[in-house]
Chain A
Amino acid sequence: MAQCVILKLDDLSKQFNGFTALSNVSFELEKGRVLAILGPSGSGKTTLLRCIAGFEQLKTGNIDYTFGHDTIRVDPSTNSPLNFLAGRIGFVFQDLQLWPHMTVLKNVIEAPIRAGKLSKKKAIRKAFEICERLDIKEQIKKFPSELSIGQQQRVAIARTLTTEPVLILMDEITSALDPEVVLEIASIIKDLSASGITCIVVSHQMAFARKIAERMVFLNDGRLIYHGDMPDLHSLSSLPSPLQRFIVADEISRRDNHV
Chain B
Amino acid sequence: MIYQWDFRFLLNFVPGLLKGLGVTLYISVLSIFLGTILGILIALAQKSKSIILRGLALVYINVFLSLPVLVLLVWFYYCLPVLIPLKLSSQTTAIFTLTLSLGGFIADIVRGGIDSLPQGQLESALILGIPRSVAMKRIMLPQAIRVMVPAILGQYVTCIKLSSLASIIAVYELVHTANSINLHSFRPLETYTIVALLYFIIIWPLIVLMRYLEDKYLIKRTHKGYEKDISKRYFRWRNA
Q: Which residues of B contact A145 (CB under 8 A)?
A: 223-226
The listed residue (B120, B142, B225) touching A95 by CB distance below 8 A is: B120
Structural contact, B130 and A114, CB atoms closer than 8 A: yes
Q: Which one of A24-32, A80-88, A200-208 is at the B interface? A: A80-88
Could you mark each residue 229-253 of chain A with 1 if its beta carbon is under 8 Å from any beta carbon of chain B, else 0?
Answer: 0000000000000000000000000
- List residues 105-158 of chain B with CB under 8 A from any CB of chain A: 118, 120-121, 123-131, 134, 138-139, 142-143, 146
Q: Shortest Cβ distance from A98 into chain B, in angstroms?
A: 8
Structural contact, A111 and B128, CB atoms closer than 8 A: yes
- Cα distance A55–B126 in the bound complex, in angstroms: 9
Structural contact, A82 and B223, CB atoms closer than 8 A: no
**Contact A162 to B222, CB < 8 A, known contacts A99-B121, A99-B139, A114-B134:** no
Structural contact, B123 and A144, CB atoms closer than 8 A: no
Q: Which residues of A contact B121 (CB under 8 A)?
A: 97, 99
Structural contact, A115 and B120, CB atoms closer than 8 A: no
Could you mark each residue 34-64 of chain A with 1 if its beta carbon is under 8 Å from any beta carbon of chain B, else 0?
Answer: 0000000000000000000111000000000
Q: Shortest Cβ distance from B116 into chain A, in angstroms?
A: 13
- In the complex, the chain B residue whose C-beta lies closest to that of A156 is B124
- Cα distance A111–B131 in the bound complex, in angstroms: 10
Asked if A143 lies at the interface with its beta carbon under 8 angstroms from chain B, I say yes
Q: Shortest Cβ distance from A219 into chain B, in angstroms?
A: 22
Q: Which residues of B contact A97 (CB under 8 A)?
A: 118, 120-121, 123-124
Q: Shortest Cβ distance from A195 into chain B, in angstroms?
A: 19
Structural contact, B127 and A110, CB atoms closer than 8 A: no
**Contact A146 to B223, CB < 8 A, known contacts A55-B123, A110-B138, A114-B138:** yes
Structural contact, A82 and B138, CB atoms closer than 8 A: no
The listed residue (A86, A101, A110) touching B126 by CB distance below 8 A is: A86
Structural contact, A91 and B143, CB atoms closer than 8 A: no
- Cα distance A214–B134 in the bound complex, in angstroms: 39
User: Which bucket holds chain A's interface residue count?
Assistant: 20 to 34
Q: Which residues of A contact B138 (CB under 8 A)?
A: 110, 114
Asked if A163 lies at the interface with its beta carbon under 8 angstroms from chain B, I say yes
Q: Shortest Cβ distance from B124 into chain A, in angstroms?
A: 4
Q: Which residues of B contact A82 (CB under 8 A)?
A: 126-127
Q: Which residues of A contact B126 (CB under 8 A)?
A: 82, 86
- Cα distance A144–B225 in the bound complex, in angstroms: 10
- List residues 89-103 of chain A with CB under 8 A from any CB of chain B: 89-91, 93, 95, 97, 99-101
Q: Shortest Cβ distance from A146 into chain B, in angstroms?
A: 6
Structural contact, B130 and A111, CB atoms closer than 8 A: yes
Q: Shortest Cβ distance from B142 into chain A, in angstroms?
A: 5
Q: Which residues of B contact A89 (CB under 8 A)?
A: 127
Q: Which residues of A contact B128 (CB under 8 A)?
A: 86-87, 110-111, 115, 159-160, 162-163
Structural contact, B124 and A101, CB atoms closer than 8 A: no
**Contact A143 to B127, CB < 8 A, known contacts A97-B118, A100-B143, A110-B138:** no
- Cα distance A85–B143 in the bound complex, in angstroms: 26
Structural contact, B127 and A53, CB atoms closer than 8 A: yes
Structural contact, B222 and A101, CB atoms closer than 8 A: yes
Could you mark each residue 152-193 of chain B with 1 if its beta carbon is under 8 Å from any beta carbon of chain A, else 0?
Answer: 000000000000000000000000000000000000000000
Q: Shortest Cβ distance from A110 into chain B, in angstroms?
A: 7
Q: Which residues of B contact A90 (CB under 8 A)?
A: 127
- In the complex, the chain A residue whose C-beta lies closest to that of B143 is A101
Q: Shortest Cβ distance from B235 into chain A, in angstroms?
A: 18
Q: Shortest Cβ distance from A132 into chain B, in angstroms?
A: 20
Q: Which residues of B contact A115 (CB under 8 A)?
A: 128-131
Query: Shortest 4 CB-CB distances between A and B: which pairs?
Result: A115-B129, A143-B223, A87-B129, A145-B223
Q: List 29 A-B contacts (CB under 8 A).
A: A53-B127, A82-B126, A87-B127, A87-B129, A91-B123, A93-B123, A95-B118, A97-B118, A97-B124, A99-B139, A99-B143, A100-B222, A100-B226, A101-B142, A110-B128, A111-B128, A114-B138, A115-B128, A115-B130, A115-B131, A143-B224, A145-B224, A145-B226, A146-B224, A159-B124, A159-B128, A162-B128, A163-B128, A163-B129
